[in-house]
């Protein structure tokens, strides 16, 4: 099974936007590591938006 290209682009854009990492740096990451960064960024954004 391959990872959906649209989902991959979404993850890359999300991490790149928040961390300003290059495309190559993000694509070189293992999938679970990249998903972890996406989850952590989302958690931080939620906490900030809730004023915590």
pLDDT digits (tens, 9 = 90+) for 11-47: 999 999 999 999 999 999 999 999 999 999 999 999 9
Rounded average pLDDT over 2-9: 86
Phi and psi based region of residue 2 (left: phi greater than 0; alpha: psi -120 to 50; beta: remaining): beta
Alpha helices in the chain (DSSP H): 5-19, 23-27, 31-49
* pLDDT value for 2: 66
> pLDDT confidence of 1, banded at 50, 70, 90?
low
- Which pLDDT value is given to residue 31? 92
Chain-centre distance for alpha carbon 30: 12
Report the pLDDT value the prediction gives residue 51, as an integer from 0 to 100. 86
Asked if the model's pLDDT at residue 52 lies above 90, the reply is no
Q: Which one, of 1, 3, 2, 24, lies nearest residue 12 by Cα?
A: 24
């Amino acid at each position: 099974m391959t990872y959906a290209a649209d989902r991959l682009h979404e993850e890359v854009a999300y991490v790149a936007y928040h961390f300003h990492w290059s495309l190559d740096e993000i694509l070189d990451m293992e999938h679970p590591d990249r998903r972890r960064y996406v989850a952590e960024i989302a958690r931080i954004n939620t906490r900030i938006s809730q004023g915590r």
